[in-house]
Chain A
Amino acid sequence: MTVTTDSIEIHLYGCLRKLVKGSRPDEDTTMTLEYVENETFIELIERLGLKRSDIGDCFLNGTLAKPKDIVPKGARVGIFPFNMVLLCGGQHLKGHGYTRDDVDVDYYQ
């Protein structure tokens, strides 16, 4: 797979691997998408045909992805499904609202 600065590299996990035909759970599942200027993370998720409730903890270049984060050129985007999150509490406090919709307050700003 060739990723240029004009594209972004998506890494998919769990049940989201099915977005790539022939994927396996014991191998990297990746796809390359065209870079879209000023695209937010949640717009990227929608471009993939996914809903907020489908996803868990996701990462933009290794940093937790928030819905309004802008996806940079050449980004590595890790997308985990709703049931794959860091083993943790505080889901409703993450501020991203993917796994719970009762977001109290976004302490991550």
Chain B
Amino acid sequence: MSKVLRINMEDLSHKWQNVKPAHKTYAGRAFTSTILSEEVDPTCHPLREQNKIVISPGLLAGTLAPSSGRLSVGAKSPLTGGIKEANAGGLTGTRLGNLGVRGIIIEGAPKNSKDWYSILVGKDKCEILKTNQYAGIGLYDLIGKVWKDHPTKPGIIGCGVAGQRLLENAGVFGNNIENSDPGRYAGRGGLGAVFGSKRIVAVISDGKGGSRPEAKDQEKFDEARKTFVKSLNAHAVTGKLKDDKGEPYGGLKNYGTNILLNILSEAGGLPTRGFRSGRFDKAAKISGEAVHDLVDKTKAKFGDKAEGKYAHACHPGCVMACSNIVPYEETGKQHVSPLEYETAWSLGANLGIGILHDVAELNRLCNDIGLDTIEAGNTIAMFMEAGIIPFGDGPKAIALLKKAYDEDSVEGRLVSSGAQTAGKTLGVTRIPSVKGQALPAYDPRPIKGIGVTYATSTMGADHTAGYTIAAEILGIKGKVTDPRDLKKAELSQAFQATTAYIDSTGYCLFIAFCILDDDDGFNAMKTTVDSFLGEDIDVTSYGKDVLKKEREFNKKAGFTEADDRLPEFFKTEPLPPHNVVFDVPDEELDAVFKGF
């Protein structure tokens, strides 16, 4: 029986509650957004006691369904001022699923406290621990200390020094399976700062004594999950590492999400040097292929001592394994994990930096300080736009980011505060953000559908909210798919609704690559969810219901259609090589959520 843990940080108390009957099908994003919409005043200050943090493993987390261990974290966002859900892999989703925890709701804040706390969740237990020793340190150190203090290999999420200082680009870190890196981030929207506002450094999930959640129809569930695994393994994107001849096969396992860097550059949609070009002449140097090559070289040189990896799982039971461990070329030891496409873009192509080591180092620093990499790259770009450091200068970007460790450094605080705050402070007029959140790695001028998602998403500019990229460039059922076609409202809405459903199941969004191709895979995926719950869930209705709650929250928070717009420069500055602007009419943007 799933339970909800409610924690009050004002009096450091907690209580266990049953899942409300009306919430019985909600988990992950559906749970976090429902609780926020029911319990949080949308006009509250996101960094004061009225805001709440809601943590929820996806519906199937902890089960044997493949790639289903994602964790959602929600709160009113300090970065956007609206509702926020960010999700990630790591260990915590699986641990909470095994413990039977549907959600953790953290409310209130200690009054005038200078102490820092951690929440230890175990089988039918919760302790709120005073852990000042975990505050003010890098997150690589922190996760090491936590596993030393709690030797049951717990999941850990929380905030780094950026969140502890209430800075708006603070992400929620998570430890990886090996506990070698805090890089499993529910990164977007500044939710790490909400943890800091409640004086919480870490939530530690000890899975000891836990068990696999049982499906209502276990036989049907097991059959469906096995079919789904077969479907995922057979697909050229999500499939096996090597073919029968030993040659690279599955795109994600070999090259990770960063397979996209070369492809988007070739397609002319890779935002480069502050969204000035759609192609990066050094894309190959920081691509997934380059990481694959570096891993192979260091394995050949250092043998068993080499720590680099591809086909690395981001959470227990992930069969797609798109994560990686980037090694130092000189030693073969781990530099950072993972280096994702969005990060290679934001800290690489977006800054004009084409040296893999420098990009990996910027990524490692973000992971250690507790920053979202997409926002961090866009923020450093503001310093480059302002002429404070030059585009393409990796060492200067690294030096700037290192200032974030120093509590007394104004530049350090600014580089941790997001692109909009930094851009405005530095007199930049080309700030690539929507609702205060910076754009990810697809330029909305040649790929207009993703521009519609950026503009209209409840989350601010977010590619995952409605990933139309492939559908636009390549094709989708019944749709005209030229990326320059303007009718994108229906496409974006359909993707946003389906995404909200997937974000609630615990499944990684990347299963979409397979289920859109393979009807058997789609049906098996849906059957796992339905047989787990014991009822037939309509994918689109479920997703739309989540979106409606999020839109309503944002409306009450003061958002209007005028906030569903891209920055002006996307409409006026043509992007080479296609030399197009974002010209989707406002009426088309407003049509996405007409009737919601």
Contacts of B292 in A (CB 8 A): 25
Given the complex of chains A and B, what is the CA–CA distance between A38 and B347 in angstroms? 42
Contacts of A20 in B (CB 8 A): none
Contacts of A64 in B (CB 8 A): 267, 473-474
Cβ of A87 within 8 Å of any chain B Cβ, yes or no, is: yes
Q: Contacts A59-B266, A83-B250, A83-B251 given; indicate if A88 touches B516 (C-beta within 8 A).
A: yes
Contact yes or no, A86 B236, CB < 8 A: no
Interface of A is mostly: loop
Cβ of B538 within 8 Å of any chain A Cβ, yes or no, is: no
Cβ of A52 within 8 Å of any chain B Cβ, yes or no, is: no
A-B contact count (CB 8 A): 137
Cβ of B558 within 8 Å of any chain A Cβ, yes or no, is: no
Contacts of B266 in A (CB 8 A): 11, 13, 59, 62, 78, 80
Most buried by B among A56, A84, A86, A90: A86
Contacts of B267 in A (CB 8 A): 59, 62-64, 78, 86
Contact yes or no, B512 A89, CB < 8 A: yes
Contacts of B287 in A (CB 8 A): 25-26
Contact yes or no, B481 A87, CB < 8 A: no
Q: Give me 7 A-to-B residue pairs in the complex whose CB atoms sit less than 8 angstroms apart, sorted by A's number.
A: A28-B284, A59-B266, A80-B266, A86-B473, A89-B470, A107-B476, A107-B480
Q: Contacts A15-B247, A62-B278 given; indicate if A86 touches B263 (C-beta within 8 A).
A: yes
Contact yes or no, A80 B480, CB < 8 A: no
Smallest CB–CB gap between A28 and chain B, Å?
A: 5
B→A interface (CB under 8 Å):
236-237, 247-252, 254-255, 257, 259-260, 262-263, 266-269, 278-279, 281, 284-285, 287, 289-290, 292-294, 356, 446, 469-471, 473-482, 510, 512-517, 577-578
Contacts of A94 in B (CB 8 A): 474-475
Contact yes or no, A99 B236, CB < 8 A: yes
Contact yes or no, B237 A87, CB < 8 A: yes
Contact yes or no, B249 A83, CB < 8 A: yes
List the 9 closest A-B pairs by CB distance, nearest first.
Answer: A89-B516, A88-B470, A62-B268, A78-B266, A26-B290, A25-B289, A25-B293, A93-B475, A86-B470
Contacts of A90 in B (CB 8 A): 470-471, 474-477, 516-517
Of A25, A61, A82, A91, the residue contacting B517 (CB under 8 A) is A91
Q: A13-B263, A88-B473 are in contact. List 15 more A-B contacts (CB 8 A).
A: A14-B248, A26-B285, A57-B263, A62-B279, A62-B577, A83-B248, A87-B251, A87-B259, A87-B513, A88-B469, A89-B470, A91-B236, A93-B475, A95-B475, A107-B479
User: Which residues in chain A, 1-21, are within 8 Å of chain B measured between CB atoms?
Assistant: 11, 13-15
Given the complex of chains A and B, what is the CA–CA distance between A13 and B480 in angstroms? 28
Query: Chain B: which residue is nearest A91 at the CB level?
Result: B517
Contacts of A87 in B (CB 8 A): 237, 251-252, 257, 259-260, 469-470, 510, 513
Query: Chain B: which residue is nearest A11 at the CB level?
Result: B266
A→B interface (CB under 8 Å):
11, 13-15, 24-29, 56-57, 59, 61-64, 78, 80, 82-95, 99-100, 107-108
Contacts of B252 in A (CB 8 A): 87
Contacts of B512 in A (CB 8 A): 89
Contacts of A26 in B (CB 8 A): 284-285, 287, 289-290, 293-294, 356
Contacts of B577 in A (CB 8 A): 61-62
Given the complex of chains A and B, what is the CA–CA distance between A87 and B262 in angstroms? 12
Smallest CB–CB gap between A87 and chain B, Å?
A: 5
Smallest CB–CB gap between A54 and chain B, Å?
A: 12
Contacts of A63 in B (CB 8 A): 267
Contact yes or no, B516 A13, CB < 8 A: no
Q: Contacts A15-B247, A25-B284, A82-B236 given; indicate if A88 touches B255 (C-beta within 8 A).
A: no
Contacts of B510 in A (CB 8 A): 87
Contacts of B479 in A (CB 8 A): 107
Query: Chain A: which residue is nearest B522 at the CB level?
Result: A89
Q: Contacts A62-B266, A90-B470, A92-B517 given; indicate if A84 touches B255 (C-beta within 8 A).
A: yes
Given the complex of chains A and B, what is the CA–CA distance between A28 and B290 in angstroms? 11
Query: Chain B: which residue is nearest A79 at the CB level?
Result: B266
Contact yes or no, A89 B290, CB < 8 A: no
Contacts of B259 in A (CB 8 A): 84, 87
Contacts of A93 in B (CB 8 A): 474-477
Q: Contacts A27-B284, A59-B267 given; indicate if A13 touches B262 (C-beta within 8 A).
A: yes
Smallest CB–CB gap between A35 and chain B, Å?
A: 19
Contacts of A11 in B (CB 8 A): 266
Contacts of A86 in B (CB 8 A): 260, 263, 267, 469-470, 473-474
Contacts of A88 in B (CB 8 A): 237, 469-471, 473-474, 513, 516
Query: Chain B: which residue is nearest A77 at the CB level?
Result: B266
Contact yes or no, A84 B251, CB < 8 A: yes
Query: Chain B: which residue is nearest A14 at the CB level?
Result: B289
Given the complex of chains A and B, what is the CA–CA distance between A64 and B479 in angstroms? 16
Contacts of B284 in A (CB 8 A): 25-29
Contact yes or no, A89 B514, CB < 8 A: yes
Contact yes or no, B481 A107, CB < 8 A: yes
Contacts of B269 in A (CB 8 A): 62
Contacts of B516 in A (CB 8 A): 88-90
Smallest CB–CB gap between B446 and chain A, Å?
A: 8
Contacts of A62 in B (CB 8 A): 266-269, 278-279, 446, 577-578
Contacts of B263 in A (CB 8 A): 13, 57, 78, 80, 84-86
Query: Chain B: which residue is nearest A109 at the CB level?
Result: B480
Given the complex of chains A and B, what is the CA–CA distance between A100 and B269 in angstroms? 25
Query: Chain A: which residue is nearest B516 at the CB level?
Result: A89
Of A13, A78, A80, A85, the residue contacting B237 (CB under 8 A) is A85
Given the complex of chains A and B, what is the CA–CA distance between A62 and B469 in angstroms? 14
Contacts of B478 in A (CB 8 A): 107
Smallest CB–CB gap between B481 and chain A, Å?
A: 6
Given the complex of chains A and B, what is the CA–CA distance between A69 and B309 in angstroms? 39
Query: Chain B: which residue is nearest A86 at the CB level?
Result: B470
Given the complex of chains A and B, what is the CA–CA distance between A53 and B428 in angstroms? 48
